Amino acid sequence: MLDAKILRERPSEVLSIYRERLFDDAAAELAQAALALDDKRRTLLHAADELKNKRNSASQLIGREKDAEKRAALIKDMESVKSEIAGYDAQLAETESELDKLLLQLPNLPDPEVPTGKSDTENKVVREEGKPFSFDFSPKPHWEIGESLGIIDFERGVKISGSRFYILKGAGAQLQRALISWMIDVHLDQGYTEVYPPFMVKELCLYGTAQLPKFGENLYRDAEEDFYFVPTAEVPVTNLYRDEILENEQLPLRHVAYTACFRREKLAAGRDTRGMKRGHQFDKVEMVQFVRPEDSKQALRTLLSDAEEILKQLELPYRVIQMCTGDLSFAACEKYDLEVFSPGVNEWLEVSSCSNFGDFQARRAQIRYRPGKDKKDKPRLVHTLNGSGLALPRTVIAILENYQQADGSVRVPTVLRPYLRGREFIK
């Protein structure tokens, strides 16, 4: 959540950023409305404080007054003051509630180093890594490979769950499971601590990581109870420390988690939705970090490197993309994507997003730390980061399409063979 203090002290700068860097006039209008409410809140607070000071002075005077008649008159006057205070407090509570609702709708401010651009067409390709695979035949898309090998069943997936569901079976299911286990092991070696969180969370958790209120229509929820299916492991893992004050020596905290992810992506049927690229349910290994504010920029670079290591060991060609301001996520102040090339569909597929949120999520979830050892030190908000390490099933797509052979088989990447009982080929 945007700090109301920043909006109050630097209104022109914030409005300019929304209009000229994020190209979000609606956010600028919301920010102006929030400024007006903040002014109203401070006016009400000042008036209420004056009356409370008056009440406190009168209470002392009543305590010293010996004359019963004068004392009764003072007490009567106090009744009207108490009524006025109650009125101001009620207005103040309503105004603060309205202000919080507006602040929850304001996107994070981009880091100054983020390039300005209106859409994904202006994202910056930082670098390309890995050697593209060469073929002496026309590479097939993953849906043809999977069906011919009998490892993906789209028809039965639709039969039991509907469009954009599929069944992985045999070596297909084993490949995905092997990838998840191996990815987690790689991240454990990088210094992460594994957690296995629930796949359902309370509504408050989604406000904490900024999926709510803006993206409510993309979430699946229980119709009767306060449960939402997680859109990413970022949600439960970040909220592990909600409403807590961490000690300085606990930071940085680095977690890795596997979860299924559930999203109501509303897309028209067509080429972009064919196969396994976009589903309502998919698996993902996620890295989440909690760091001191001064360390978050370097932490983002480390997080990106940790995600890249997966692609390097799989020997897949990929590229690093820096998001421009117009393509940043709602909560991120800086973001990089990793895209892997898949020759069968002849396109770059996003398999990881690595984001620095600054204190945006921590302010919502009230995740703080104590900078010093003195318990009297004022707690500060941590900075949070997260990155996919990596997302399935697009990593499966990239393996099937890059490692496909002329005879229709798929060669298993070397690092995965111990996780697949030594299997070298899927035939």
Q: Assign residue 93 the CATH number of its domain.
A: 1.10.287
CA distance 318 to 227: 37
* Whether residues 53 and 94 fall in one domain: yes
- Asked, for residue 185, whether it belongs to a domain, the answer is yes
Q: Residues 335, 328: contact at Cβ < 8 Å? A: yes
> Which distant-in-sequence residues (6+ apart) come within 8 Å of 165 by Cβ?
157, 158, 279, 280, 281
- Asked, for residue 44, whether it belongs to a domain, the answer is yes
Q: 326: alpha, beta or left, given left = phi > 0 and alpha = psi -120 to 50?
A: alpha
- Asked, for residue 389, whether it belongs to a domain, the answer is yes
| Nearest residue to 168 via CA among 139, 143, 141, 198 | 143
> Which distant-in-sequence residues (6+ apart) come within 8 Å of 414 by Cβ?
315
Q: Which two tokens stand for residue 266?
A: 């509303």
- For tokens 């009744």, the residue is 79
- Asked, for residue 333, whether it belongs to a domain, the answer is yes
- Asked, for residue 108, whether it belongs to a domain, the answer is no
Could you tell me how many helices (H) and strands (E) the chain has, helices first? 12, 17
* Whether residues 165 and 196 fall in one domain: yes
* Whether residues 261 and 346 fall in one domain: yes
CA distance 84 to 396: 66
CA distance 385 to 362: 10
Give the range of the structural domain holding residue 48, as residue numbers without chain letter: 4-103
* Whether residues 131 and 16 fall in one domain: no
Three-state DSSP class for residue 411: strand
366-380 confidence digits (pLDDT tens): 999 999 877 778 999
* Whether residues 129 and 31 fall in one domain: no
* Whether residues 235 and 201 fall in one domain: yes
* Whether residues 141 and 206 fall in one domain: yes
* Whether residues 388 and 285 fall in one domain: yes
- Asked, for residue 115, whether it belongs to a domain, the answer is no
- Asked, for residue 335, whether it belongs to a domain, the answer is yes
User: What is the number of domains present in the chain?
Assistant: 2
Q: Which domain-ending residue is among 103, 134, 153?
A: 103
219-255 confidence digits (pLDDT tens): 999 989 989 999 999 999 999 999 999 999 999 999 9
Write the DSSP assignment of 306-327 as a string of letters.
HHHHHHHHHT--EEEEEPPGGG
Q: Which domain-ending residue is among 70, 103, 136?
A: 103
One-letter identity of residue 185: D
pTM: 0.91
* Whether residues 271 and 175 fall in one domain: yes
Q: Among all residues, which ones are annotated catalytic? A: 263, 278, 350, 353, 394
Three-state DSSP class for residue 419: helix
- Asked, for residue 109, whether it belongs to a domain, the answer is no
* Whether residues 41 and 129 fall in one domain: no
As a dihedral over the C-alpha atoms of residue 102, residue 221, residue 266, residue 151, rounded to 10 degrees, the angle is 140
Three-state DSSP class for residue 317: coil
CA distance 51 to 59: 12
Q: Assign residue 266 the CATH number of its domain.
A: 3.30.930.10
Buried b (16+ CB within 10 A) or exposed e, 245-258: ebeeeebbbbbbbb
Q: Residues 287, 255: contact at Cβ < 8 Å? A: yes
Tell me the pairing of strands 425-426 and 228-229. unpaired
CA distance 401 to 345: 8
Instruction: Please give the angle made by the CA atoms of 51, 53 and 54, to the nearest 5 degrees.
Output: 60
One-letter identity of residue 66: K
Residue 413's Cα: distance from chain center in Å? 30
* Whether residues 67 and 128 fall in one domain: no
* Whether residues 125 and 221 fall in one domain: yes
Tens digit of pLDDT at every position of the chain (427 positions): 899 999 999 999 999 999 999 999 999 999 999 999 999 999 998 888 887 777 666 666 666 656 666 666 666 667 777 778 888 889 999 999 999 999 999 999 999 999 999 999 999 999 999 999 999 999 999 999 999 999 999 999 999 999 889 999 999 999 999 999 999 999 999 999 999 999 999 999 999 999 999 999 999 999 899 899 999 999 999 999 999 999 999 999 999 999 999 998 765 555 566 889 889 999 999 999 999 999 999 999 999 999 999 999 999 999 999 999 999 999 999 999 999 999 999 999 999 999 999 999 999 999 999 998 777 789 999 999 999 999 999 999 999 999 999 999 999 999 999 999 999 999 9
